[in-house]
Amino acid sequence: MGYGEIAALIAALAFAVLVVFIILALRKVTDILAEVEKVTQEANKSLAVITKDVDHLSIEVEGLLNKANTLVDDLNGKISKTDPLFTAIGDLGVTVSDVNQSTRNLAVSLKGGGKGAKGVAGSSTVGKLGRTAMAMARQRQSKKESKDTKFKTY
């Protein structure tokens, strides 16, 4: 056996070892690819289910949004109808404030402020008002009494 044959034998053994390692690596790669294929199929199935669910949810959300928009439009319409009410309430508040101020001014003018001639004029105004009220009350009472006596005589 010569050096050439030994070299060929070593090369053949090295080639055989290389082929064994390549075969083992290819088996592992094949197993890995099979697992990747299983995971990909499961992911595709899950993705299909999720897509269907999302489609259904998006349809329902769209319906809810349409209903919410309708309700908001209805609410805006009803609120706009109450605007005149709140305007009237605000105007009434201003009017009540004006009446209060006028009443204060009347009370002050009737009271006369307690100063000089105005005080006398104010008290005479109050006196006239009182006398007029008493006269009206007496007239009313006399009319009532006259009606009562008419009905009793018959």
Q: What is the pLDDT of residues 59-107, one digit of tens each?
A: 999 999 999 999 999 999 998 888 888 888 888 888 988 888 888 888 8
Query: What is d(CA 35, CA 89) in angstroms, rounded to the nearest whole number?
Result: 76
| Interacting residues of 122 by C-beta distance below 8 A, sequence separation 6+ | 109, 110, 111, 112, 113
Query: What is d(CA 121, CA 131) in angstroms, rounded to the nearest whole number?
Result: 15
Confidence of residue 23 (pLDDT cuts 50, 70, 90): very high
Phi then psi for residue 63, to 5 deg, are -65, -45
pTM, rounded to two decimals = 0.38
Q: What is the pLDDT of residues 96-138, one digit of tens each?
A: 888 888 888 888 877 765 454 444 445 677 778 888 888 899 9
Most distant pair of Cα atoms in the chain: their distance: 172
